[in-house]
Amino acid sequence: MLQVSEIKENKELIVQGLLKKRFQNAESVIDKVLQTDQERRATQSTLDAQLAEANAIAKQVGELMKAGKKEEAEGIKARTAELKQQNKALQEQLSLLEEALKQLLYTIPNVAHSSVPEGNDDKANELIYSWGEAKPLEGQAKPHWDLIKTYDIVDFDLGNKITGAGFPVYKGKGARMQRAMVNFFLDKAVEAGYVEVQPPILINEASGYGTGQLPDKEGQMYHVTNEDLYLIPTAEVPITNMYRDEIIDADRLPIKNAGFTPCFRREAGSWGAHVRGLNRLHQFDKVELVQIQHPDKSYETLDEMCNHVKMLLEALELPYRVLRLCGGDLGFTAAITYDFEVYSAAQDRWLEVSSVSNFESYQANRLKLRFRGEDKKMQLLHTLNGSAMALPRVLAALLENNQTAEGINIPKVLQPYTGFERI
RNA sequence: AGAGGAGUGGCAGAGUGGUCGAAUGCGGCGGUCUUGAAAACCGUUGUACCGCAAGGUACCGGGGGUUCGAAUCCCUCCUCCUCUGCCA
């Protein structure tokens, strides 16, 4: 969430950034924050003064008791009863104000970075890079949902039987492909200096708040009600939360972690071709990169992460493009996001396979993730993450783009991992 | 899952109702000494909030309670350890 101190100092800029993000009533909500904070501070001051008085009396009583002046002590106690009531009321008032402020701040998204283009939806996203030849296949190109049946490598009916829609079973070379991609992506991440981690895939409520899935977006996660835990929608959540409530030594920065996990998304939503097959699933596998960086360097890091994803896609020989999301299409917690889309020849569509974002201090503020700056003052760090990458759509694109009469060609870089050159 | 024990500052570890934000040791930082280093010695060393400041307030796993006053007593939750049971 945003920091009240920032809002106070840069109110106009923040309102601008929020409007770009298409956050309604930015100005009035910000005003409400400032007003609530004002009340909070006033209440805090009063309460502190009263507590100071109560503390002084308690000390006095102690001294009188020790001196054996019991009656005098009893006399002073009368005042404390009064103070106690007032303090309790003030305490409650303060808690209410603090809670109100927090709830208010939770409703405010991150501010869009200055380079983020204006726009209401994905139509306004800015194309900033493309690689490879994006053209439909000639002849009888099949979409991946047909190919997986032909080669019997992903089975939706089986998944339906044992779980439900959106939970496919990968079989034979399909399963092997998954394992190959995971290993390839993880190996590349480790080569790039990321420390591999394997986090839990169930998270508690505090973690959900830390990275911004809670409150409000609980409907998108599977909830294990008998333990009050959530299935992760992305490894971003457990990996970033490893650093919740931490004060990091500046010389440890940047912190780079990579992890492979399954991801779970409820996404009750649309039907049709764009959710067919592997395009959208309730459970899918993903390798995620997370970095924690000094605020001055987070945009360099963002570029570095984007270059990493480019390298992966080029190694896989998949035509792709990079989009800078416009304000209206940006996620709640992101200051800036680059989407990587792979061209799927048989669908003649672009499939999002990676999303790389800088959250600046928005998550760090919720996480209480800080470091001591050059001036010895505590400062919030910046968090970033990116998928590298989401497997099902990469698989879909590989199947569709590499189909031949003889079968599906596996990219060279994956062959050492699959042990076969063709499906 | 049952029985018992324990959670204190970066770490170790005292403290069982007042003078305790908390002894002591280690570690860290600064200094003296030294050509340099080590050792020794001296000093310093938590976080958040309120306040222009002086200063004040809160925090001893989390939450609640008793009391004029709680790290210390009570309730509750969480975590860890030991034993028993179960198990990949």
Q: What is the pLDDT of residues A5-22, one digit of tens each?
A: 999 999 999 999 999 999
Q: A182-234: per-residue pLDDT in tens?
A: 999 999 999 999 999 999 999 999 999 999 998 888 889 999 888 889 999 99
Residue A348's pLDDT is: 86
A1 touches strand B (CB under 7 A): no
B strand bases under 7 Å from protein CB: 18, 47-51, 55-58, 68-69
Residue A298's pLDDT is: 97
From residue A402, alpha-carbon distances to A104, A315, A347 in Å are: 50, 14, 13
Span CA (A110) to C1' (B59), Å:
30
Span CA (A365) to C1' (B56), Å:
26
Neighbour tally for A398: CB within 10 Å:
25
CA–CA dist A21, A23 (Å, integer): 5
Span CA (A113) to C1' (B85), Å:
58
Lowest mean pLDDT among A77-81, A157-161, A192-196, A217-221: A77-81
Phi-psi region of A125 (alpha: psi -120 to 50; beta: other; left: phi over 0): beta
pLDDT, average across residues A335-340: 98
Nearest CA-CA partner of A94 in A50, A39, A53: A39
Neighbour tally for A193: CB within 10 Å:
12
ipTM tops the 0.85 cut: yes
Vertex A243 angle, CA A359 and A185, to 5°: 70
Residues 209-268, chain A: which have Cβ under 7 A from strand B? 247
Give A138's pLDDT tier (boundaries 50, 70, 90): confident
The pTM is what? Answer: 0.93
A201 touches strand B (CB under 7 A): no
Give A65's pLDDT tier (boundaries 50, 70, 90): confident
